[in-house]
Structure 1
Amino acid sequence: MRRVVGVAALLLLAGCSTGDSPGGSAPPTDPPKGIQVEVVADGLTHPWEVGFLPDGRMLVTERPGRLTLVDKGRKTQVEADFGDVVARGEGGLMGLLVHPDFASTKRFTTCFNTANDIRLVTWELDGTEARRVKDPLRAGFPANPSGRHSGCRLSLGPDGSLLVGTGDTARASIPQDLNSFGGKVLKLDLATGEGGVLTYGHRNVQGVAVRKDGLIMSAEHGPDVDDEVNVIKPGGNYGWDPSKGGTEGGYDEDVPMTDLERFPDAVPAVWSSGRPTEAICDAVFLDGAEWGDLDGALAVTALKGAKVLFFTVTAEGGVHSVSVPPELDGTHGRLRGAALGPDKALYVTTSNGTDDKVLRVTRG
């Protein structure tokens, strides 16, 4: 593993206070009206990420190690060599990012577990076949043999960089170890894979969302308390340390998600679930007049909670309120992926293990 670069120069920390309430640390509001949900693809297995091609077709990663092309509801399995993908527990074929210059390059990047690590690979799509062109783009991310806390959500940064949210692989020392890429948000060059740690001290980052003004927010799993939504601040320590400063040999999950006693300068969450956790997952900002008063809201899926939460976010990144539409509250099982389509609709994937679906969510 090459050493992480540039962390000392990134220590610009800030935070917001949190509290506990039935809506987590922000007040719940009335459910939004007019939410409509339709199934656009089914028969999938743990679809992890949706990426849109310029012509509106979707690429969907499936955790067992399959890539599916969806065109107006018709599914075609992409022929690609995923022979080194190891799907075990929470790990397998996970994040996907369609490159912004896909129209000319036909390139996209995936993240997956192998027998030895978690890695990024860049592909080129030719019809319904994909070949590796950067293998790997970056390798050596830590992995747990069980697949636990694999993380690996990919997003395009406001400057065109590749943002990667990773998990700590349930190893106590990794979140605070700046020489490890586990329990971090990474900022890498999309073409070369060069780069390093943007933020650290995370448990298991499941969503990284970028607002059109450049604000970056993440969604993160807590243990049995305190899922978190965070504003990503370069160089920030987010305070997860199950090693207790290296004094604990095991993985002590009784420590706070953001340990402000051990790390007084840690970045507090802008929203915390309190108890119980929702197992929040992917996150994306809604954008478009079609959404009415939800225009600009942060949509976050939940696995255990089996819902979508809409967060009203201030200009600075504070969470003002939370709402949950009944149409997406326990109606489709576990919800994982979230992406905004070129039609401004929200696309959500289920993660139940059998006959999983891609849902199209609009507001009438």
Structure 2
Amino acid sequence: MRFTLSSSILLAILLAILAWPVAGCGPTPSAPQAAAIPLESFSGRVLTTGLEAPWELSFGPDDMLWVTEREGRRITRIDPATGEMTEAITIDEVLVDQQHQGLLGMAFDPLLLQGDDRNYVYVAYTYDATPDDGDEQDDPRAKVVRLTYSESAETLGEPVELISGVPAGSDHNGGRLKIGPDELLYYSLGEQGANQFNRYCAPIEAQRLPTLAEVEAEDWSAYKGKILRMELDGSIPADNPELGGVQSHIFSYGHRNPQGLVFGPDGALYAVEHGPNTDDEVNLIEAGGNYGWPHIAGYRDDQAYVYANWSAAPDCEQLTWTGLTDPAGIPKSVPVQTESAWEQDFVEPLKTLFTVHNSYDFEDETCGASYFICRPSVAPSSVDVYPHDGPIPGWGGSLLATTLKNGAVYRFKLSGDARGIRDVDKLFDTVNRYRDLAIGPDDRTFYIATDTSGLTRDTEGGATDQLANPGSILVFTFTGGRVKSASR
């Protein structure tokens, strides 16, 4: 079926595609903006509905869309032409209680359905490590499991546990899973939402590295806020970086909540990551790289962020957490550190969404009590790469990132060496939370999975929990038409 959008929503989509709202500044001049593809060059429709929090969306080698349903605990195959859905497996062990828990990332073995015996699909999910004590949340963990696909039955089964006991929590579980050109698994993990909200007395451990004793004991508790790299059997690759004198699964560290991973055609690994209130990041991931969190958000510029370490306050349990944006409101017992005071090397992001001045007003009344929706960030939830030889003019060599806070896709045009971002465009606005994106085999069709619930921007720029297409797969297709220059 086609979209049934009101005229105001259609107008909002058109305006968003033709105009890029720059909401801040960075330490370097803003990159030039791309000429947008006009709305009339795309058609839109709803492919299917009724999914329970779709999370990972990928085109399989069988030309079907495969989706993990975070809350549904299942993997579903969807016909991209008709929207017909077929369940491949339900995993009863999956723990679903909090917003970041459930069946998350999925990756296909490179030889899936290639006539070999490696008809494998890899998945990551949260589970209760102590299921018999009656408390699901006393020890939530994550694991990566290999499943075998039966082509005749069109089902998944024969689970093989690759790694378990990975730290997980009620927030910031990351969860993206990819297989690189080196045929190794890459798995993103957040820092479990420490040092904020109801976990403000829990320390952020994104900078903590494991000891040799921990690795030998298969104690993965130091893996919070990391991107892992592992063999397809879950073991530690021989060429993984040595960090702090210890080799482990850790490929990079100092991450807050990296929810998107993608490999470019040259093998470069890109990630998108949630910032605290500003400075969502697009990163180029380097082996052994430190990405700065929690000492740095975005750039080391001392703008609109200080590291208030609530967990280090001796009276933390007696304090009332006051939020992330007002340094003057931080209790005196909470240690505070500016970005410039932390002098270690770190890897700067390719782009932030968005960096703002210290004078920025974070209490935007447009969003009412849900003020955080109006703050200068977009909550990037996934990232994909558009091929250099794709048919859409000007899009070759671009990253495409879905976002939660404003139901849009951001296109980042990479520089010639794919190590920088030249310009940015914003696309496909609807009143939804976009969770993941899959590019069709024709490189003209874009399939977007939407969250079942949550807050996002409405057509007036405020906050709403009334999503236009909850738990759906939306389809946007490039239909041609000349590229117009946009007035910025």
**The two structures share one fold, judged by TM-score above 0.5:** yes
Which amino acid in the other structure matches residue 339 of structure 1? A
| Total equivalences in the alignment | 338
Q: C-alpha root-mean-square deviation of aligned residues, in Å?
A: 2.7
Q: Trace 1:99-138 onto structure 2 (pairs within 5 A).
A: 99-103=109-113, 104=116, 105-115=118-128, 116-126=140-150, 127-134=153-160, 136-138=161-163
Pair 138,51 (structure 1): closer, same or farther in 2 beyond 3 Å:
same
Which amino acid in the other structure matches residue 269 of structure 1? P
Looking at both structures, which has the greater relative contact order when contacts are Cα pairs under 8 Å and sequence separation is at least 6? 1
Alignment equivalent of 1:68, drawn from 72, 76, 99: 76
Pair 84,215 (structure 1): closer, same or farther in 2 beyond 3 Å:
closer
Misfit runs of 4+, over 6 Å: 242-247, 254-258
2:264 aligned with 1:211 = yes
The one-character-per-residue Cα deviations of 1:96-153 (angstroms, maximum 9, x if unpaired) are: 111111113221011111123011111112224321331x211122111xx2001110
2:102 aligned with 1:49 = no
Which one has a bigger Cα radius of gyration? Answer: 2
Alpha-carbon offset, residue 235 of structure 1: 0.7
2:381 aligned with 1:281 = yes
Larger mean Cα displacement after TM superposition, 125-134 or 278-287 = 125-134
Indicate the residue corresponding to 1:322 in structure 2.
Answer: 424
The one-character-per-residue Cα deviations of 1:166-205 (angstroms, maximum 9, x if unpaired) are: 1111233320112222211111112344341111000000
Higher strand fraction: Structure 1 or Structure 2?
Answer: 1
User: 2-side partners of 1:258 and 1:169: how far apart?
Assistant: 22
Indicate the residue corresponding to 1:343 in structure 2.
Answer: 442
Alpha-carbon offset, residue 220 of structure 1: 0.2
User: 2-side partners of 1:200 and 1:43: how far apart?
Assistant: 37
Q: Trace 1:1-364 onto structure 2 (pairs within 5 A).
A: 20=25, 26-33=31-38, 34-64=41-71, 65-71=73-79, 72=81, 73-103=83-113, 104=116, 105-115=118-128, 116-126=140-150, 127-134=153-160, 136-144=161-169, 147-171=170-194, 172-179=203-210, 180-195=222-237, 196-241=249-294, 248=312, 259=339, 261-274=341-354, 276-287=376-387, 288-314=389-415, 315-325=417-427, 328-329=428-429, 331-344=430-443, 345-353=445-453, 355-364=470-479
Gaps (5+ residues) in structure 2?
A: 1-23, 129-139, 195-202, 211-221, 238-248, 296-306, 328-335, 357-375, 454-468, 480-488
Contact 1:286/1:346 (<8 A) preserved: no
Pair 181,28 (structure 1): closer, same or farther in 2 beyond 3 Å:
same
Alpha-carbon offset, residue 337 of structure 1: 0.7
User: 2-side partners of 1:359 and 1:230: how far apart?
Assistant: 27
User: Could you tell me the TM-score, scaled by structure 1's length?
Assistant: 0.84
Gaps (5+ residues) in structure 1?
A: 1-18
Alpha-carbon offset, residue 320 of structure 1: 1.0
User: 2-side partners of 1:178 and 1:246: how far apart?
Assistant: 21
Pair 302,264 (structure 1): closer, same or farther in 2 beyond 3 Å:
same
Indicate the residue corresponding to 1:7 in structure 2.
Answer: none
User: Could you tell me the TM-score, scaled by structure 2's length?
Assistant: 0.64
User: 2-side partners of 1:257 and 1:289: how far apart?
Assistant: 46
User: 1-side partners of 2:470 and 2:285: how far apart?
Assistant: 35
Alpha-carbon offset, residue 37 of structure 1: 2.9
Contact 2:379/2:403 (<8 A) preserved: yes
Alpha-carbon offset, residue 58 of structure 1: 1.9
Alpha-carbon offset, residue 260 of structure 1: 5.4
